[in-house]
Amino acid sequence: MKQDAAIDAFAALAHETRLAVFRLLVRDGPEGVPALDIARRLEAKPSTLSGHLSILKRAGLVTATRRQKEILYAPNFGGVDGLVRFLLDDCCGGNPEACGLPAALPHGCAD
């Protein structure tokens, strides 16, 4: 991940609602959650939530998939893995395992 993309991802997460959305999606996993369900669960206005979801999507942190009349949002674990790798690239001289850190996210998260 390039520095500009990492900055965009951090900026996207640096908002209370967007962070709450992202954490909700991570808890629910890769199947995705309908936008209206996210709004209901977070007690957010759908019109406001739409903007937050767009920012997270542009930052590469979530994906959107249309299923009939609804849009499902899910975490983009590949994007999250890229962000974590960006943070840890230089750890322990480029060898994060030497610091006791995982080389990547747990199996299944980046798929």
Q: Is residue 40 part of a domain?
A: yes
Report the alpha-carbon distance of residue 25 to residue 94 in Å, rounded: 30
At 68, which CATH number?
1.10.10.10
Q: Note the Cα 61 to chain centre separation in Å.
A: 3
Transcribe 59-110 into DSSP letters.
TTSEEEEEETTEEEEEE-HHHHHHHHHHHHTTGGGG-GGGGT--SSSPTTT-
The pLDDT tens digits for 45-64 are 999 999 999 999 999 999 99
- What is the distance between the alpha carbons of residues 78 and 108, in angstroms, rounded to a whole number? 10
Residue 107 domain flag: no
Residue 93: predicted pLDDT: 76
50 found inside a domain = yes
- What is the average per-residue pLDDT within 89-106? 68
Mean pLDDT of the chain: 88
Which range marks the domain in which residue 88 is found? 3-99
The conformation of residue 14, written as its DSSP 8-state character, comes to S
**pTM of the predicted structure, to 2 decimals:** 0.82
Residue 44 forms part of a structural domain: yes
> How many structural domains comprise the chain?
1
Domain assignment present for 109: no
The token pair at 20 is 């709450």
Tokens of 8: 């965009």
